[in-house]
């Protein structure tokens, strides 16, 4: 019976989660933005309602009406001022913007209504009459009314969605903004309405939660974590599944709190379960429908005189500063280390992590445990603590390998909350550590502790910052850096060139975790007393915001990003007290983040660099030359003969639901020949390339590469067996120059380069093979340009050059002639023939230019409705009656030439 009673109590809490999760879903469906500020909206709404009802004695119904109208206005203003201007920005920028909005709301309430972090006890808005359901089961009426409220909110939203024009308009906007606008529905009006409705719903969730948890800024704000988990169970689409997810999480938390004695499991277990489900349900590569977004710019990694001057200035400041100022200098440098870890994982590899401060807390925790309980010297405890954090980073890296974007942000935030509940804020684990002294930091006779030797400790931290900055600059310039940026820019394209996306992501998380854990360990050594209260989940969010200010892709951005953070030198200069103005500094910092995201998404460092480049060009009167008309060389340089490889597809079938995209396909491709594939749109040509290259696993049949069954291998593994591909959508690495794009394909990076590139990036001159391909594709005049600076024809040639520069023996080309005109198409055909004759490459050419296919290919395959209807030499295929009927239509065919023209065409 007790089990049932706690399940009923959990239903009340779960209903609150469900209401807030429904708010997240409403906003997501109406604007495409994952609202991390929903918890802050719930918190603001709860404070407003209870202040009106209890302090100003306004009747509850009227107070509720005022609160809902006010929060609706807050939601609409947030959309107009923040979300609407960012609708074309990357999803990561919009997500960070909602984190900044959350921070603003939290700090405003903290500084006005909840000074000192007080937790207020409030009376439930519903009757709290005790009800007896069975002889030994009793529950207050408000808990049952909470459940009813959650169900009613879900019912009303579903009815609106399914049976009103507003619901139809919202679904249309969610599917396609342009189509919805063409039908007369304003996406901005829908966005305004959904954000207003979402904020009002969030306020209801906050009002219901406050009697259960107390009126507290922190507790109510982080209500968003289980709410996001509930929304995730519904795929951010299904309201009924979202309701069910919220109820299940509430029941699980209630039961675990009652029956598991270890503190923290009630909070952690449901979130960990959601992370596991998300990881299992995810994929190692994004789908073809996922659009590659522009990421914030990245620094070059060059270490010049400004860096040397900066180090000298910092060292001089430390030596000359009075003891009273050293603490803020050290705090600035320690925060810089944590921000550098974010540059690695988010700036270099594109993985948004909301757990970096939590990992720093683990580093501090392990340092304290080793020093106090194991009596390990602090100088040895610090590296050991870093090593102990690596398994945690591996776990997060595995999650990151299976998720991306908003899902990854939810996963890392969930893991951060779970680690916080189980370790960092767990009173049972900290009972023997809190207040205990750790040993002073010393290396032999050299004393480095911050208490008695603050200057020495500050110099040590400066050296650590310098070493990490140099290591990260080396990383950026080396082959490993190219791999990180390739994965960041386009995971599919990186995998097609042999880059292990999973390995790169895990590497980035492990390296970033080591840096963050080291910062946490040094923070613990600085105070010499166990105190983990500064390592909060909110601290991870603030760190992301600070890094965004400086420039998340720039090493210098980590130092710039410390501006405005509490306890730093900048905060002391601005407020006269590095800690006294902490609330104001966080508030200002959040506002600055919003301004920067709206005006300069790449951050302050990128803006300064761009201005410096412009100034240098003006001083030297140099300007980048204009692109000249495209001209292909069409001949390859010295031969680079590839080993013979054969690709065989046997009875391959791919189905999408009940539709056969490929049906019993048999194909053989060998080196030294060009096989063309033609067919009408929807014939299955792109699905064929995806299946042969490993991006789609067939439902039936086998794919054999040089005698080895590779049906279950991914694209990176198939590349190592001699197969690469290009993409119809190009999928270039927009963060890498033309030369870097091509060089990545030719890189042979052994595993130890992931370590050696940190110390000395090995960058050999481009190989003859790379230079030959670049010249043949007419790209030698634009090697220093980014792909976004090229016209479409050159972008397409870059995609071809990148595939050809690899050592692959077989290349699958998806519409390589798109964007080329006239003579350049003919030269492309010559280039493809040179690849087969001079280098022995085998080509599978999917192309709509029938003339190019018939003039260039040794064999032609014609597909229709997922089946092969003809195959053979071009001369035979172009006269096949089935081909004429299915694809070419009524045609005029010249037997003496390869031209095929539809009747009536000029």
DSSP string over 797-839? HHHHHHHHTS--SEEEEESTTTT--HHHHHHHHHHHHHHHHHS
pLDDT at 582: 65
Q: Residue 514: which of 350, 391, 354 has the closest Cα?
A: 391
Q: What pLDDT was estimated at residue 383?
A: 96
Q: How many CB atoms lie within 10 A of CB 438?
A: 24
pTM to 2 decimal places: 0.89
Question: Which positions ≥6 away from 544 have C-beta within 8 Å?
Answer: 96, 99, 342, 346, 352, 354, 356
Pairing of strands 137-140, 130-134: antiparallel
Instruction: With beta carbons less than 8 A apart as the criterion, state whether 486 and 493 touch.
Output: yes
Q: Give the C-alpha separation, 558 to 545, whole Å.
A: 11
In angstroms, what CA-CA distances link 716 with 148, 213, 493, 496?
A: 51, 49, 10, 6
Q: Which residue pairs, CB below 8 angstroms and at least 24 apart, start in 218-222?
A: 218/106, 218/117, 218/538, 219/119, 220/39, 220/42, 220/43, 220/46, 221/39, 221/40, 221/42, 221/43, 221/102, 221/105, 221/106, 221/538, 222/39, 222/417, 222/537, 222/538
Question: How confident is the model at residue 899, as a pLDDT?
Answer: 41
**Separation of alpha carbons 505 and 511, rounded Å:** 10
Q: From 350, 844, 272, 320, select the one nearest 553 (Cα to Cα).
A: 350
Q: Which tokens is 146 given? A: 């909470």
pLDDT of residue 878: 85
Q: What are the tokens at 362?
A: 């683990």
How confident is the chain (906 residues) per 10-residue block, as mean pLDDT? 80 93 93 91 96 93 96 96 84 84 92 81 89 76 91 94 85 72 80 94 96 90 91 88 93 86 83 80 69 75 87 92 88 95 94 93 95 93 96 88 83 90 88 85 89 93 96 93 93 92 94 96 90 89 90 92 77 59 75 85 86 77 62 64 91 90 94 93 91 94 94 93 91 91 87 90 84 89 91 89 91 89 83 89 93 93 93 90 71 40 34
- For the chain, the distance separating the N- and C-terminal CA atoms, rounded to the nearest angstrom, is 84
* pLDDT of the residue at 293: 64
Contacts 24+ apart (CB under 8 A), 429-433: 429/365, 430/530, 430/532, 432/372, 432/373, 433/365, 433/368, 433/369, 433/372, 433/373, 433/530
pLDDT at 638: 59
Distances (CA, A) of 20 to 10, 326, 721: 16, 45, 50
Burial classification of residue 470, based on how many CB atoms lie within 10 Å of its CB (0-12 exposed, 13-18 middle, 19 or more buried): middle
Nearest to 35 by CA among 194, 269, 178, 150: 194
Distance, C-alpha 314 to centroid of its chain: 34
Q: Facing residues of 862 across strands?
A: 678, 870
Residue 336 vs residues 75, 349, 856: alpha-carbon distances, Å: 34, 19, 57
**Whole-number Å distance between alpha carbons of 862 and 860:** 7
Residue with tokens 């399914």: 162
- Taking only Cα atoms into account, the Rg of the chain, rounded to an integer number of angstroms, comes to 30
CB-CB neighbours of 76 under 10 Å: 18
Domains and their CATH numbers in the chain: 2-259 (1.10.3470), 305-537 (no CATH), 646-748+765-876 (3.40.50.300)
Measured in degrees and rounded to the nearest 5, phi and psi for residue 736 equal -110, 145
């Amino acid at each position: 019976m007790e089990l049932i009673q706690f399940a009923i109590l959990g239903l009340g809490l779960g209903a609150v989660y469900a209401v807030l999760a429904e708010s997240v879903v409403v906003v997501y469906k109406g604007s495409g933005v994952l609202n991390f500020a929903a918890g802050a909206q719930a918190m603001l709404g709860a404070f407003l309602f209870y202040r009106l009802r209890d302090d100003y004695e306004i009747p509850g119904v009227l107070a509720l009406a005022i609160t809902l109208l006010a929060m609706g206005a807050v939601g609409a203003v947030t959309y107009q001022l923040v979300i609407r201007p960012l609708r074309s920005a990357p999803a990561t920028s919009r997500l960070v913007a909602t984190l900044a909005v959350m921070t603003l709301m939290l700090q405003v309430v903290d500084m006005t209504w909840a000074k000192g972090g007080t937790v207020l006890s409030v009376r439930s808005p519903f009757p709290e009459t005790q009800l007896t359901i069975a002889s030994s089961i009793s529950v207050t009426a408000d808990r049952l009314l909470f459940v009813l409220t959650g169900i009613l909110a879900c019912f009303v939203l579903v009815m609106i969605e399914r049976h009103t024009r507003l619901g139809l308009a919202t679904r249309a906007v969610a599917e396609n903004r342009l189509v919805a606008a063409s039908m007369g529905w304003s996406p901005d009006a829908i966005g305004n309405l959904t954000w207003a409705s979402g904020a009002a719903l969030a306020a209801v969730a906050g009002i219901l939660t406050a009697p259960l948890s107390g009126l507290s800024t922190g507790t109510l704000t982080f209500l968003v974590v289980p709410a996001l988990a509930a929304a995730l169970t519904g795929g951010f689409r299904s309201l009924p599944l979202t309701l069910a997810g919220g109820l299940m999480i509430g029941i699980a938390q209630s039961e675990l709190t009652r029956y598991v004695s270890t503190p923290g499991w009630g909070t952690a277990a449901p979130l960990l379960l959601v992370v596991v489900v998300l990881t299992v349900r995810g994929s190692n590569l994004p789908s073809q429908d996922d659009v590659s977004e522009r990421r914030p710019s990245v620094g070059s990694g060059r270490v010049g005189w400004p860096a040397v001057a900066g180090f000298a200035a910092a060292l001089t400041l430390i030596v000359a500063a009075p003891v009273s100022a050293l603490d803020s200098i050290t705090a600035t440098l320690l925060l810089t280390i944590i921000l550098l870890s974010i540059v690695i994982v988010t700036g270099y590899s594109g993985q948004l992590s909301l757990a970096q401060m939590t990992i720093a807390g683990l580093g501090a925790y392990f340092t304290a445990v080793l020093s106090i309980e194991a009596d390990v010297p602090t100088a040895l405890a610090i590296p050991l603590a870093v090593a102990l954090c690596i398994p945690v980073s591996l776990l997060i890296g595995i999650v990151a390998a299976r998720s991306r974007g908003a899902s990854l942000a939810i996963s890392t935030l969930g893991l951060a909350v779970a680690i916080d509940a189980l370790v960092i804020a767990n009173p049972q684990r900290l009972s023997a550590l809190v207040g205990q002294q750790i040993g002073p930091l010393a290396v032999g006779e050299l004393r480095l502790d911050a208490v008695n030797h603050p200057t020495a400790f500050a110099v040590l931290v400066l050296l650590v910052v310098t070493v990490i900055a140099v290591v990260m600059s080396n990383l950026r310039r080396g082959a490993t850096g190219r791999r990180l940026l390739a994965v960041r820019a386009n995971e599919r394209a990186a995998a097609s060139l042999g880059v292990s996306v999973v390995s790169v992501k895990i590497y980035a998380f492990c390296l970033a975790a080591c840096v963050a854990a080291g910062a946490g360990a040094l923070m613990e050594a600085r105070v010499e007393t166990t105190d983990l209260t500064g390592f909060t989940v909110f601290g991870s969010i603030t760190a992301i915001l600070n890094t965004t200010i400086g420039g998340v892709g720039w090493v210098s951005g980590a130092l710039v990003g410390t501006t405005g953070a509490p306890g730093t030198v900048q905060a002391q200069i601005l407020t006269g007290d590095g800690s006294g103005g902490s609330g104001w500094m966080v508030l200002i910092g959040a506002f600055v983040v919003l301004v920067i995201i709206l005006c300069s998404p790449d951050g302050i460092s990128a803006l300064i660099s761009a201005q410096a480049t412009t100034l240098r060009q003006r001083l030297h009167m140099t300007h980048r030359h204009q692109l000249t008309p495209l001209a292909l060389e069409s001949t390859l340089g010295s031969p680079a003969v590839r080993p013979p490889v054969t690709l065989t597809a046997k009875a391959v079938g791919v189905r999408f639901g009940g539709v056969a995209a490929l049906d019993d396909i048999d194909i053989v491709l060998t080196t030294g020949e060009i096989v063309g594939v033609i067919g009408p749109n929807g014939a299955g040509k792109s699905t064929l390339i995806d299946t042969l290259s490993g991006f789609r696993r067939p439902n039936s049949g086998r794919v054999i590469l040089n005698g080895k069954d590779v049906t279950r291998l991914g694209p990176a593994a198939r590349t190592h067996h001699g197969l690469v591909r290009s993409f119809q959508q190009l999928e270039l690495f927009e963060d890498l120059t033309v030369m870097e794009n091509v060089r990545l394909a030719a890189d042979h990076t052994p595993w130890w380069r992931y370590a050696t590139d940190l110390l000395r990036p090995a960058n050999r001159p481009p190989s003859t093979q790379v230079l030959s391909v670049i010249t043949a594709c007419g790209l030698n005049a634009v090697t220093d340009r980014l792909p976004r600076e090229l016209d479409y024809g050159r972008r397409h040639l870059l995609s071809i050059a990148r595939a050809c520069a690899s050592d692959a023996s077989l290349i699958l080309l998806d519409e390589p002639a798109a964007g080329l005109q006239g003579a350049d198409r003919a030269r492309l055909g010559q280039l493809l023939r040179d690849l087969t004759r001079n280098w022995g490459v085998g080509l599978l050419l999917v192309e709509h230019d029938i003339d190019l296919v018939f003039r260039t290919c040794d064999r032609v395959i014609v597909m229709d409705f997922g089946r092969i209807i003809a195959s053979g030499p071009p001369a035979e295929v172009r006269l096949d009656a089935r081909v004429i009927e299915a694809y070419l239509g009524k045609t005029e065919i010249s037997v003496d030439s390869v031209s095929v023209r539809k009747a009536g065409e000029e």
